[in-house]
Amino acid sequence: MDGIKREYRGRLNVVYLDITRTRGEEMAREYNIMGTPTLLLLDSEGNQVNVLRGWLSKSALERAVDDLLAQSG
């Protein structure tokens, strides 16, 4: 994720949440996260566009991010 964060700087906000901490627990309930790793892709309005569960290759993650950015215009 750090590589994605650097590569898409200025076009994508990457936020890490620890689901064992209070705020992370709240967000996990809100977005129905049952395990880690789980990546939520949200549009600029905060609407969930995609959810990715489990370990992904960098290329699969890049495709998902590129799709999100293409939808956002």
Buried b (16+ CB within 10 A) or exposed e, 22-42: eeeeebbeeeebeeeebbbbe
Residue 8 clears pLDDT 70, i.e. is over it: yes
Q: How far is CA 7 from CA 3, 20, 27, 49, 67, in A?
A: 6, 28, 26, 20, 15
Residue 22 clears pLDDT 70, i.e. is over it: yes
Q: What is the DSSP string of 50-62?
A: EEEES---HHHHH
Token pair belonging to 70: 């293409």
Domains of the chain: 2-68 (3.40.30.10)
Q: Where do the DSSP E strands lie in 1-73?
A: 38-42, 48-53
What per-residue confidence (pLDDT) applies to 9? 94
Whole-prediction pTM: 0.80
Mean pLDDT of the chain: 91
Q: Please, which pLDDT band fits residue 41 given cuts at 50, 70 and 90?
A: very high
